[in-house]
Every structure is written in structure tokens, then in C-alpha cells.
């Protein structure tokens, strides 16, 4: 058993049979009373975020989560098939686990998958990916300012907001955490 001093961002805690990922934590030592640790936790399976306070030195159960590098191969029905880059074993990850990451995954793209007791918990993609715009309305002559944006569909089927001057066929860098346009990529 670990104590509250072992709590860090990204650590997975097992509380009441559920797995919770630490998003934020703060050690607080008030002038009066005992010290405590204030945390913000995200449920690994449902995504629900809660605030939880622990007394300093309290015992916490840290779950052992294995993170391994995988390569995305293809989609099979509601499952996504990944290959372990070390053992070449293939695993099927349900679409509920993949979640919004599917908007930014191309075949043969690498990803990190967190596993607990042999079942996948969540997928971590690189911070940004390069995707090609497959459809967007044409920009008007003179739309070169950075003020306006328009919707664009990328090759994964996701819709993002891009500057007005971008055209179909342009490769863009997209933030996988927020879906924000980060810049144009020269071919």
C-alpha cells in the first residue's frame, strides 16, 4: 500500500473497486489542523471527473497499469485492432475504450495503450498528428487573415476548424487532445 505522498499526476488509484486517474493534486498544510491532499480524479472507464480529499499520510491503493507501444492496424466492426510492437501480438480494443482518439488515428499509426489485468483502459496518441483535409468549402480571394475559421473534414472523418485560406488536399497538424488546428504542413 502506498500513501498520499506517492500521489502524482497520471497515477491510477483503485478506490471502491473503480480505477481513477489523477488529473491534479495539491498538498495543503493549513495553519490549523492536519495536512491533507486535494485531488481531481477522472474515472478511467466512464470519464467522470470528481474532487476527492485525502488526509496526509493516508493509505491509497495504486493500481499497476502497464503502458505499451502498439500500432493501429484496422477497424473490425466496433473494435479497433492494434499490434504490440515488441511481441507482434494483436489485440482488439472496443470503440468505447478508443473514444475520441478514433478521430485522429490513421492505419499504421503508433499509440500507447494502458492495460490493467489484461484489458485495455485507454489509449494515448502522440500530442499531434498530421492529417489531410478531404473536404472544405473553398476560401474567398483575400481571406488571408487569421481571424476567421471554417469547418474542414480530415481523412479520418473528423471535423475541425481551420483558417479560411486552407484548401482541400492540404496537410495540417492537429492537436489530438483538443482537436485544434496547429498549423499547415508542407508536403
CATH number, domain with residue 13 = 2.30.30.30
For residues 79 and 114, state if they share a domain: yes
Q: Please identify, among 15, 44, 60, the residue that sits at the C-terminal boundary of a domain.
A: 60
For residues 142 and 166, state if they share a domain: yes
Q: Is the dihedral of CA 92, 97, 102, 105 positive or negative?
A: negative
Q: What is the pLDDT of residue 52?
A: 93
Checking if the pLDDT of 145 tops 70, the result is no
SS3 95: helix
For residues 135 and 102, state if they share a domain: no
For residues 105 and 75, state if they share a domain: yes
Checking if the pLDDT of 164 tops 60, the result is yes
R_g (Cα) of the chain, nearest Å:
21
Total structural domains within the chain? 3
Q: What is the pLDDT of residue 93?
A: 92
pLDDT digits (tens, 9 = 90+) for 16-42: 888 998 989 999 998 888 899 999 998
Between CA 33 and CA 35 the distance in angstroms is: 7
CATH number, domain with residue 150 = 2.40.50.140
For residues 135 and 108, state if they share a domain: no
Q: What is the pLDDT of residue 64?
A: 86
Checking if the pLDDT of 141 tops 70, the result is no
SS3 100: helix
Between CA 172 and CA 154 the distance in angstroms is: 9
Q: What is the pLDDT of residue 70?
A: 95
Q: What is the pLDDT of residue 187?
A: 64
Between CA 52 and CA 33 the distance in angstroms is: 18
Q: Please identify, among 60, 76, 93, the residue that sits at the C-terminal boundary of a domain.
A: 60
Contact 69/83 with Cβ under 8 angstroms? no
Contact 80/23 with Cβ under 8 angstroms? no
For residues 44 and 70, state if they share a domain: no
| Percent of the chain at pLDDT exceeding 70 | 95
Mean of the per-residue pLDDT values of the chain: 87
pLDDT digits (tens, 9 = 90+) for 54-87: 998 899 999 888 889 999 999 999 999 999 999 9
Between CA 44 and CA 21 the distance in angstroms is: 6
For residues 135 and 180, state if they share a domain: yes
Q: What is the pLDDT of residue 89?
A: 92
Q: Please identify, among 44, 60, 76, the residue that sits at the C-terminal boundary of a domain.
A: 60
For residues 136 and 102, state if they share a domain: no
List CB contacts of 33: < 8 A, sequence separation 6 or more.
Answer: none
For residues 118 and 70, state if they share a domain: yes
CB atoms within 10 A of CB 82: 26
Range of the domain at 114: 66-124
For residues 116 and 140, state if they share a domain: no
Contact 45/61 with Cβ under 8 angstroms? no
pLDDT digits (tens, 9 = 90+) for 103-123: 999 899 999 998 888 888 888
Amino acid at each position: 500500500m502506498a500513501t498520499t505522498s506517492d500521489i502524482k499526476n497520471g497515477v491510477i488509484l483503485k478506490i471502491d473497486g473503480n480505477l481513477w486517474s489523477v488529473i491534479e493534486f495539491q498538498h495543503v498544510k493549513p495553519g490549523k489542523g492536519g495536512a491533507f491532499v486535494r485531488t481531481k480524479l477522472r474515472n478511467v472507464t466512464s470519464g467522470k471527473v470528481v474532487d476527492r480529499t485525502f488526509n496526509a499520510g493516508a493509505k491509497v491503493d495504486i493500481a499497476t497499469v502497464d503502458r505499451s507501444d502498439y500500432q493501429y492496424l484496422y477497424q473490425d466492426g466496433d473494435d479497433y485492432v492494434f499490434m504490440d510492437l515488441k511481441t507482434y501480438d494483436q489485440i482488439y480494443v472496443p470503440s468505447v475504450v478508443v473514444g475520441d482518439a478514433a478521430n485522429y488515428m490513421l492505419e499504421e499509426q503508433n499509440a500507447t495503450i494502458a492495460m490493467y489485468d489484461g484489458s485495455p483502459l485507454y489509449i494515448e496518441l502522440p500530442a499531434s498528428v498530421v492529417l489531410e483535409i478531404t473536404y472544405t468549402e473553398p476560401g474567398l480571394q483575400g481571406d488571408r487573415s487569421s481571424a476567421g475559421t471554417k469547418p474542414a473534414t480530415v481523412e479520418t472523418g473528423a471535423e475541425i476548424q481551420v483558417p479560411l485560406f486552407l484548401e482541400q488536399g492540404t496537410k495540417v497538424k492537429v492537436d489530438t487532445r483538443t482537436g485544434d488546428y496547429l498549423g499547415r504542413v508542407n508536403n
